[in-house]
């Protein structure tokens, strides 16, 4: 760690060592001699938290006393990653920690490794929320992250003997969590069920059951901003702890029933990615955290007031709805204003519509949540009444605005028909003040296709905010070698707060000495990853091969199948002698992906990749030339090793399907070149880094649409490209299933008859671009020049910039004064 890059705290290493000793004694009850690395981790975390305490309290006071509108980021997922390194960096205690821990006789790496990574998110959406709260704090904007403290995060992935994915529960709270502060005094009651009755001319909800929502607070320290915000995650508990009477009658299970029902609400994160499960429990979760959070905001901003003036609520806080998951918060705020505070409908509506904004994160129709009216009526009968009234009001407004009856009908929030349902995206688009997509192309497609009617009638609502990633975690912490080189190249470390400064690296791409240093950093990162992969997974990886990486959820639209078919075709080329072994660029192809447990074809693709790896990696004919590795249980920690080590990044989704992608940004910032389609944020990355420094292939959105319209026949492509045919035939004939032709039959049949995401149609173009990639890779100086140009031009993809865009286009607020 260079002196240049670490912000300073006045604490010395010796003092910090004393603080750790103190925590070992008073919180862990062990001597330094008895302590294990995990004890030291908890002690250090507790000590860092204390350093942040004053700033945390001051930030809250300034927020409540000042008049800067705060942001409430409502999200069902926050995929935070490990906290200790980040907290040390942001509190300027990194060097002191390293020295103190060594003084106590421990290895800092072992201590930070002892932290268990909380997996409270599925993928990009949850990680984006974590980057955003980091940036909000770093920019000094008063903000809360509001979500759920799931007891079980995303499942822990294992592979069995046959290469199939096995899901294991991730009980992360069996380990000590020194970061979360549980605050029993600031609980909220959240109610469900029952009925709505008429009393004195008023609609009154008589719920049938309630749960206690208890906040667990996590500090969110800003980088060099002196501000510490709050991530408030709710835990569900029962009010009726235990029914002794029932217990005494020996009905043990019945005695804990209410408790079990209540606590189930915050028990598991749904392991779904993009597709929704129509589960009652999921709606309970959504209402649970939306309701608790809105009540909490009222408590925070109107302390000790029985009759607060909530017409000022939109000046105190605005809520960002992270996808449709918290949209039930809209009727909830209406209900609170109408029923709990006695406002009339129009006043309540006026407050509500100024309070919420909605971000859509998808283009897949199945990912736009729709809840059956029957389910909402059962769980939240008063909310269903309110939603119906919102729908009626909307229909009347629409009838005033347009004569197009078909359009009015299409836009219904509450559909009729066999299973009347509520479209949460429509509710959010009507009631939200702003609606945004997450990349230019995505926002355009929302306007042109997914939410077209809404954008036609309410064009001013719609805007774009391109996603971003935090350079603190994904550059400074993950890639200290590159960070130091950048600081050296720029002569300052200010780029960590103003990532556009990376632009000044561009001339250095022509400086051969700098390019060589850059190449050395990449090589060191490859060795680091290879060591990690050996240690954790037992893989043998040759660091002199090209590291070619595809990490993301396993989904058909992302097209891991395209990558693995190309690997198989290359394998076949070598085996058949069509390609001379000495002409092959040695590659290690690295996959990381979890599949939703119920997603049959995705899980089969995982199995195929694992078995292709098994065959290829054990075949002496390709040894040293082609290798496939698939580290299981891909998570933030693996990402932090792998992204800095990667040279070629695969972003090969079918055009028009990936809303944005965020790993593409992390890779470009860490000096990988991208092979990708014109999809999501790839488009903007390519615009910025330049077409010459990006490997583009495949159909465009328009071409894809045309092909759907004309009728797509994948078999035609299978017949036309002998390499593709050979690859698919190998899968079909059992090359990767010990001769068994049934194992992958469903996958093969899907490719040849459906192939909804047009993997086969893009295959030939994908192969051609891979040849270009190999040619360039042969000239390492040129390759690394292009990689540096990628880094230099990716500063735009900082989540700080995303947040600035939100402040200006959506939230209309700024840093605390
Ligand atoms: C996602 C999109 O699929 C992804 O492209 C985007 O980068 C991310 C953050 O905006 O949101 N939408 C979604 O439901 N998940 C995503 O990762 C799970």
Task: For ligand 1, pick from 77, 124, 651 the residue to mutate: most ligand atoms within 8 Å of CB.
Answer: 124
Task: For ligand 1, pick from 125, 270, 438, 551 the residue to mutate: most ligand atoms within 8 Å of CB.
Answer: 125
**799 C-alpha vs ligand 1 centroid, how far in Å?**
15
Helix or strand (DSSP H, E) at 547 = strand 546-551
Q: Is the model's pLDDT at 254 over the cut of 80?
A: no
Q: Is the model's pLDDT at 243 over the cut of 90?
A: no
Q: What is each CA distance from 409 to 381, 392, 412, in whole angstroms?
A: 24, 12, 6
Q: Is the model's pLDDT at 528 over the cut of 90?
A: yes
**pLDDT number for residue 108:** 98
Cβ atoms of 367 and 386 closer than 8 Å? no
**pLDDT number for residue 244:** 63
Question: Looking at ligand 1, which atom is closest to the CA of residue 442?
Answer: 5
Could you give the CA distance from residue 686 to residue 672 in angstroms, rounded to a whole number? Answer: 13
**362 C-alpha vs ligand 1 centroid, how far in Å?**
6
pLDDT tens-digit profile of 27-86? Answer: 999 999 999 999 999 999 999 999 999 999 999 999 999 999 999 999 999 999 999 999
State phi, psi for 70 to the nearest 5 degrees.
Answer: -95, 165
**pLDDT number for residue 562:** 98
Q: Is the model's pLDDT at 810 over the cut of 70?
A: yes
**pLDDT number for residue 4:** 35
Q: Which of 760, 417, 801 is nearest to 559 (CA)?
A: 760
Confidence of residue 247 (pLDDT cuts 50, 70, 90): low
Q: Is the model's pLDDT at 3 over the cut of 80?
A: no
Q: Is the model's pLDDT at 242 over the cut of 70?
A: no
Provide mean pLDDT across the span 786-814. 98
The residue contributing the CA closest to ligand 1 atom 7 is: 661
Provide mean pLDDT across the span 718-735. 98
Other C-beta atoms closer than 10 Å to the C-beta of 251 total 13
Provide mean pLDDT across the span 145-159. 97
The residue contributing the CA closest to ligand 1 atom 11 is: 125
Active site residues per annotation: 361, 552-553, 558, 662, 666
Could you give the CA distance from residue 343 to residue 349 in angstroms, rounded to a whole number? Answer: 10
Q: Is the model's pLDDT at 107 over the cut of 60?
A: yes
Q: Is the model's pLDDT at 2 over the cut of 60?
A: no
Cβ atoms of 434 and 810 closer than 8 Å? yes
**pLDDT number for residue 8:** 65
Residue 790 CA to chain centroid, in angstroms? 23
Question: Could you give all domains of the chain from N- to C-terminal order, each with its CATH number?
Answer: 10-65+93-116 (no CATH), 67-81+124-464 (3.40.50.2000), 471-803 (3.40.50.2000)
* CB-neighbour burial class of residue 393 (10 A; exposed 0-12, middle 13-18, buried 19+): middle
Provide mean pLDDT across the span 624-641. 98
Q: Is the model's pLDDT at 1 over the cut of 60?
A: no
pLDDT tens-digit profile of 299-357? Answer: 999 999 999 999 999 999 999 999 999 999 999 999 999 999 999 999 999 999 999 99
Q: Which of 812, 806, 663, 669 is nearest to 136 (CA)?
A: 806
pLDDT tens-digit profile of 409-418? Answer: 999 999 998 9
> What is the average pLDDT score of the chain?
96
pLDDT tens-digit profile of 210-236? Answer: 999 999 999 999 999 999 999 999 999
Cross-strand bridge partners of residue 546: 587
Helix or strand (DSSP H, E) at 133 = helix 124-138
Provide mean pLDDT across the span 197-207. 96
Q: Is the model's pLDDT at 757 over the cut of 70?
A: yes
**439 C-alpha vs ligand 1 centroid, how far in Å?**
11
Above pLDDT 90, what percent of the chain? Answer: 93
- Quote the strand ranges of 379-517, DSSP E: 421-423, 435-437, 462-464
Q: Is the model's pLDDT at 666 over the cut of 50?
A: yes
* CB-neighbour burial class of residue 83 (10 A; exposed 0-12, middle 13-18, buried 19+): buried
**157 C-alpha vs ligand 1 centroid, how far in Å?**
20
Q: What is each CA distance from 116 to 111, 113, 457, 636, 637, in whole angstroms?
A: 11, 8, 48, 11, 10
* Ligand 1 binding residues, C-beta < 6 A: 122-125, 128, 273-274, 361-362, 367, 438, 467, 658-662, 680
């Amino acid at each position: 760690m260079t002196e240049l890059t670490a912000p300073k705290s006045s604490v010395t290493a010796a003092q910090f060592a004393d603080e750790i000793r103190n925590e070992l004694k008073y919180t862990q009850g062990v001597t330094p001699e008895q302590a294990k690395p995990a004890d030291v981790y908890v002690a250090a975390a507790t000590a860092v938290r204390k350093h942040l305490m004053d700033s945390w309290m001051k930030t809250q006071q300034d927020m409540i006393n000042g008049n800067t509108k705060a942001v409430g980021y409502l999200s069902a997922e926050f995929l935070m990653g490990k906290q200790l390194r980040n907290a040390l960096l942001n509190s300027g205690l990194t060097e002191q920690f390293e020295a103190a821990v060594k003084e106590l006789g421990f290895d800092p790496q072992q201590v930070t490794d002892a932290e268990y990574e909380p997996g409270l998110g599925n993928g990009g959406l949850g990680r984006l929320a974590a980057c955003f709260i980091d940036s909000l704090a770093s920019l000094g904007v008063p903000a809360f992250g509001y979500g759920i403290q799931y007891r079980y995060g995303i499942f822990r992935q294992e592979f069995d003997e046959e290469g199939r994915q096995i899901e294991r529960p991730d009980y992360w709270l069996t380990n000590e969590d020194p970061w979360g502060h549980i605050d029993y005094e600031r609980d909220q009651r959240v109610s469900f069920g029952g009925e709505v009755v008429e009393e004195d001319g008023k609609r009154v909800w008589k719920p049938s059951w309630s749960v206690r929502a208890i906040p667990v607070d996590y500090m969110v320290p800003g980088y060099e901003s002196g501000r510490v915000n709050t991530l408030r995650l709710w835990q569900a508990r029962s009010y009726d702890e235990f029914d002794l009477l029932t217990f005494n009658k020996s009905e043990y299970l019945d005695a804990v029933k209410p408790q079990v029902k209540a606590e189930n609400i915050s028990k598991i994160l749904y392991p779904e990615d993009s597709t929704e499960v129509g589960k009652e429990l999921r709606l309970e979760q959504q209402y649970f955290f939306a309701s608790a959070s809105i009540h909490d905001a009222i408590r925070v901003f109107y302390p000790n007031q029985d009759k607060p003036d909530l017409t000022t609520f939109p000046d105190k806080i605005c809520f960002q709805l992270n996808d449709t998951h918290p949209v039930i918060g809209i009727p909830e705020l209406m209900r609170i204003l109408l029923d709990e505070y006695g406002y009339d409908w129009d006043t309540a509506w006026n407050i509500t519509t100024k309070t919420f904004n909605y971000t859509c994160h998808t283009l897949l129709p199945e990912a736009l949540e729709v809840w059956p009216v029957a389910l909402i009526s059962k769980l939240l009968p008063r909310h269903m009444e309110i939603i119906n009234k919102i729908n009626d009001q909307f229909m009347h407004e629409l009838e005033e605005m347009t004569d197009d009856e078909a359009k009015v009908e299409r836009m219904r929030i509450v559909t009729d028909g066999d299973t009347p349902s509520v479209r949460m995206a429509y509710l959010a688009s009507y009631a939200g003040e702003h609606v945004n997509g997450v990349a230019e192309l995505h926002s355009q497609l929302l306007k042109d296709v997914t939410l077209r009617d809404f954008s036609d009638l309410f064009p001013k609502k719609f805007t774009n905010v391109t996603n971003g990633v935090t350079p603190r975690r994904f550059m400074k912490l993950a890639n200290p070698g590159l960070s130091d080189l950048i600081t050296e190249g720029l002569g300052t470390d200010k780029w960590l707060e103003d990532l556009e400064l990376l632009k000044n690296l561009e001339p250095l791409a022509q400086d051969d000495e700098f390019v060589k240093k850059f190449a050395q950093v990449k090589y060191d990162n490859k060795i680091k990853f290879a060591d990690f992969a050996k240690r954790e997974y037992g893989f043998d990886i040759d660091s002199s091969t090209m590291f070619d990486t595809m990490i993301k959820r396993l989904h058909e639209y992302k097209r891991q199948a395209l990558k693995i078919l190309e690997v198989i075709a290359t394998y076949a080329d070598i085996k058949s002698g069509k390609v001379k072994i000495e002409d092959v660029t040695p590659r290690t192809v690295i996959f990381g992906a979890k599949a939703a447990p119920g997603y049959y074809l995705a899980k089969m693709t995982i199995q195929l990749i694992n078995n292709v790896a098994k065959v290829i990696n054990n075949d002496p004919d390709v040894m040293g030339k082609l290798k496939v590795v698939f580290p299981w249980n891909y998570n933030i920690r693996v990402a932090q090793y792998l992204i800095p080590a990667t040279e070629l990044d695969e972003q090969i989704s079918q055009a028009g399907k990936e809303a944005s992608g965020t790993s593409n940004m992390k890779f470009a910032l860490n000096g990988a070149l991208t092979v990708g389609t014109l999809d999501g944020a790839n488009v903007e990355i390519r615009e910025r880094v330049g077409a010459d420094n990006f490997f583009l292939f495949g159909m465009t959105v328009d071409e894809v649409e045309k092909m759907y319209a004309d009728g797509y026949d994948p078999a035609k492509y299978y017949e036309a490209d002998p390499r593709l045919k050979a690859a698919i035939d190998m899968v079909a004939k059992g090359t990767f299933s010990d001769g068994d032709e049934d194992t992958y039959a469903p996958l093969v049949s899907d490719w040849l008859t459906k192939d909804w995401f047009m993997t086969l149609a893009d295959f030939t173009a994908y192969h051609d671009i891979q040849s270009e990639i190999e040619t360039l890779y042969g000239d390492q100086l040129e390759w690394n020049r292009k990689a540096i140009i990628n880094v230099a031009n990716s500063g735009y993809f900082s989540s700080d910039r995303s947040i600035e865009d939100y402040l200006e286009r959506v939230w209309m607020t700024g840093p605390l004064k």
